[in-house]
Amino acid sequence: MDISQSKRKPYVRQVKKSWWLRNSFYTGYMLREGTCLFVGAYTVILLCGLLRLSQGPEAFAGWLHALHSPLAILFHLVALVACLFHAKTWFSLAPKAVRLFKGAELMPEKPIIMAQYIGLAAVSVIVLLIAILA
């Protein structure tokens, strides 16, 4: 909806920028949202790798070399934790976002969440095996 066309002037209550620090539920929510910064940064790193790959072996070796810096390794460690935290919240959210029914009964959340963890583990093992064996 284009809000610029609206003549409404709703009252917006002022909220402190630190509102989410006062309640652990909200802090968790903001941390979860914050994980997207690492997800975004990692896709840009991958895009750089693709660009360097297209420029030839030497350029690609430079990208690989850059990944060896302690700062890069630290970033990836934090990004991994962020990504796993995002995955945890994403999995527990799925049964709430998509409500599956078995007959008239709502499917219980636990098996759906567990199935997603199994999926994560399976995909991870398969990708690792491909990386090691291929």
Q: Which two tokens stand for residue 90?
A: 């994403």
Please give the single-letter amino acid code of residue 105: E
One of 21, 23, 36, 115 touching another protein (CB under 8 A):
36
72 makes contact with another protein (CB under 8 A): yes
Gap between the Cα atoms of 90 and 52, Å rounded: 32
67 makes contact with another protein (CB under 8 A): yes
28 makes contact with another protein (CB under 8 A): no
71 makes contact with another protein (CB under 8 A): no
**Considering the complex, what minimum distance in angstroms separates the CB of residue 39 from another protein?**
5
64 makes contact with another protein (CB under 8 A): yes
CA 81, chain centre distance (Å): 10
> Could you give the residue ranges of the DSSP H alpha helices within 1-134?
24-54, 57-66, 70-97, 109-133
**Considering the complex, what minimum distance in angstroms separates the CB of residue 104 from another protein?**
27
124 makes contact with another protein (CB under 8 A): yes
